[in-house]
Structure 1
Amino acid sequence: MIYLIRHGEAAAGWGDHPDPGLSALGAKQAEAVAAQLNAFTIMNIISSPMQRCRETSAPLSELLSLTPAISPQVSEIGTPPDIEDRVTWLRGLMAGTWTEAGAPFVDWRARMGAFVDALPARTAVFSHFVAINALCGLLEQDDRVTVFRPGHCSVTRLERRNGRLRVAEYGSEAATRVL
């Protein structure tokens, strides 16, 4: 199994801070998901370089005495340079498909998929709403940008079936506001 974990609740929204850490609730969520993941014999931890993911991975890292590998391959989707309003752009992107988003984003999704596909079993990957959706959609051959709405610190399980990485179980969904 490979486990995709959405970061805990951030201390600030996209319009307020480009790279917020966790809120007090987010820190509690990170502690709770660490306890949950402890039962899965995690051997590797990968984290997005974004602060909220690094902070979410910290309790598991401490619990297991593992140092997370920080990887931009599982980071948040980048904003095109000509976009001034990221929130509005992201809302539109999330309502559409990867095909509509265009080649740079289709390529981003494919590179992330190849990176995660090469990870060994029992790896925990701390990432983001759009990135987790991109991976799940790619693995399930679903072109929608938003396949499901993972809640903060939800755990999505991936497994290999017949040599192919697939979604075994989607993480818990929440009515959390993404934007």
Structure 2
Amino acid sequence: MPRWKPDARQRLVVAALNLFAEQGYDDTTVAQIAERAGLTRSTFHRHFADKREILTAGQKTLSRLLVEGIAQAPDDATPVEAVAAGLERASGEMTSFNRELGPLLHAAIEANAELQERNALKSIGMAAAMVEALRGRDVLEPTAQVAAELGVLAFKLGFAAWVDPARDEVPGELAPLVLAALDDLCAAAVELR
């Protein structure tokens, strides 16, 4: 077995999610994941601390992309426009690999309380990153919080629509779905008053 393969991380994620779907998260071991991926346990641990980390593997990258997009928004952008720029930047990096794994990831999270908690923490981390980026644009804290939370919810809604296997049409890019969700949420927020 070769020591290093360039796609090891993706192979581990695919193997883990398939095993979680087949036998459940709790009954899946790191050794089984590595074996299914055709890799060793030490290779697994070079990429992930434990099997829980597989489910939040892209969180740092996603948060970084959101922050970059917010920072690159025009100076005169409103807080929601800045969040939209962040969402567009992050969504633009999602590939068919992310779309294909979405249903498996969702199934694994829904079947395990611990993973549901980790997923909630991922959302909190995304919101915190966006709040910090908005505060860097001199947006006041309450406004930054609301805009960031709308952004997190828009990303979740857009992503859920993008990976939904029941959709009739072939999904295109993620960004239009996320931005449409953000528009819908902003319209709904106006109705709150």
TM-score under structure 2 normalisation? 0.28
Between structures 1 and 2, the one with greater strand share: 1
Structure with max Cα Rg:
2
TM-score under structure 1 normalisation? 0.30
Between structures 1 and 2, the one with greater helix share: 2
